[in-house]
Chain A
């Protein structure tokens, strides 16, 4: 008689870091890491994680319950090119549509994504892979939109704070937030003059802000910075955001450890 698997429902909104560690990592058609269920099979036989994953244009574009964010008109969303971040979905989320046992966010989009703002209507947009856009689309964007730059740290963390509060109130689910490792293997800077907004510094500032946020709210940090530093970024990191299969496994194991701490695998009493 086959045993029915227990399902942990995880809602995950994030990009490379979240997808690669929780779902899979495939490089050149080769599966390098098969996601969190690899860890669960060993540590919690009979439990599987069902991941509902959304890519994240940026944390501040995730709507709060009942909120409608200004977004590009549908016609435009269909016309403009988009890849992993469909324009029609950048300002929407199924986060609050169904129950979840855990919700996972990441700082990656907040650190890395630079948006454009429509000059007249004010909506924001991530023009993903802009360099590959056709001439007409590029011309339209350049004439209609302006650079809105990267996310400011304090307002973004305040937005994340509200989001975490809403998840806890509406879904009652534990929230996990990935931070980032600021180390770029082989890159050394000894003078930051004129490079105050360098990525490494920005990551450190966001990570510190996230630590501070965790003193006021009951969510968990998936400390990718510590994981990479413990084993060595030379070994675990390919570049700023991509981890080796070993790194992805360690991150997935940390997610499972936190879920264990949060009681997500506790069997409900009959």
Chain B
């Protein structure tokens, strides 16, 4: 077991769950086992509690430093909740197995996974980073000794595959970046991180936050006033003899509005510091060195609150299946839809780049759009008439060109997903957004290349 410390707090671990079998051949940095972590000690005596927001979903993945055939000790797993909740002291130096390798075997390499739950009591323990987290991250010291470099992913779903990977646990980054490094992914299920949304967030004042809170509170009051018993599934006619739908539908609307509020008045992820565990104790890291964004976020439907100016962006596909009619009615009544032209997106992105440069010095790595499509086999666009300028191939091409121009700013790089998809063939991204494993790996390689080019430590 490698050294790992949360000093001045204690560190407890659960039983170890093996990720491979005895006799398997594993590669260097390939995960062998995982356990859950918990901090112990008095929280009253310390003003700062490390990893306070991630403490319920904290895991360590242990990987082999060398390639070889692995043999596990047999008593590592305790089963049940003993493998899901930390209960015994972190035991540096304990032998968990052996590896038959031509290289000198060393201590295991630790990858720490930390998930900040959207709803703290919402238990979802199980696999690697299981459950819904509004922020998920992975950090590892590796063999490095310098400062941690951090990359933050704020893009849409296409970046989940790139950063969290098939395993959702950032293992593909752990395998390639020597460390010390941290990768953070902030979910866009609540609000999409477009440049307009982020710019407002990073510039938000206490007065703005109070005004938004007031707006949400007012709407909440309306929703919860004058309810009749029939509004609750449990008391609808015939419900006393059984009912197929047990959940109170209103709750989803209220929760979504609360999440929007929580997102708006919480710290902007671009400015957020983060705690990491190291061999010598916990360390608080500065805000991210690089921020991965996506032009896809800019195309999500945007809404501006009429009274407060509060800007939100929500993926169109969420309306209906995920977001109920109550939110839609609220958007129609209290918000106005915002249509942003490519030049307005350019203005917002440029302003965001400058704001970020001044505040933290981070680089923006912006993924462009896959403009080519196997579906658009069109040789003349006259039939589109005036809607030509709003058609997707045109907007995508214009936006990509705009982004190329924006890279004149010292802290903006483009991740040319369009060219990567064209290289491999757009069959690798049939819907224009969700890439195949092969294309995701090409995009990941490109992100890594740019991070190294920009000398982000640990990558």
What residues of chain A have their CB less than 8 Å away from a CB belonging to chain B? Answer: 176, 181-183, 185-186, 188-193, 196, 200-201, 204-205, 207-208, 211-212, 214-223, 225-226, 228-235, 258, 261
Contacts and interface: CB of A to CB of B under 8 A. Distances in A.
B421 interface: yes
B422 A221 contact: no
Which one of B379, B388, B394, B407 has the greatest number of beta carbons of chain A within 10 Å?
B379
A210 to B, nearest CB: 10
A215 B385 contact: yes
Contact of A226 (B376, B388, B419): B376
B136 interface: no
21 contacts: A188-B446, A189-B414, A191-B414, A192-B405, A193-B410, A196-B405, A196-B408, A211-B393, A212-B381, A212-B394, A216-B382, A218-B382, A219-B380, A223-B379, A226-B372, A226-B376, A229-B425, A230-B427, A231-B425, A232-B422, A232-B427
A201 B406 CA distance: 13
A229 B380 contact: no
A204 B401 contact: yes
Contacts of A228: 422
Contacts, number: 117
Contacts of B427: 230, 232
A235 to B, nearest CB: 7
Contact of A190 (B394, B398, B414): B414
Contacts of B125: none
B271 interface: no
Contacts of A221: 378-380
B426 A229 contact: yes
Interface in B342-382: 365, 372-374, 376-382
Contacts of B412: 191
Given A188-B449, A190-B450, A208-B401, A230 B382 contact: no
Contacts of B385: 215
B380 A208 contact: no
Interface string B407-451: 110101111100101111111100000000000000000100110
Interface of B: 365, 372-374, 376-382, 384-385, 388, 393-394, 397-398, 400-401, 404-405, 407-408, 410, 412-416, 419, 421-428, 446, 449-450, 453
B440 to A, nearest CB: 15
Given A192-B405, A201-B401, A215 B382 contact: yes
A183 B401 contact: no
Given A230-B425, A232-B423, A233-B422, A190 B407 contact: yes
B398 A229 contact: no
A186 to B, nearest CB: 8
A50 B57 CA distance: 71
A261 B379 contact: yes
Contacts of B381: 211-212, 214-215
A183 B419 contact: yes
A193 B394 contact: no
Contact of B382 (A188, A217, A226, A232): A217
B128 to A, nearest CB: 30
A115 to B, nearest CB: 25
A236 to B, nearest CB: 9
A225 B372 contact: yes
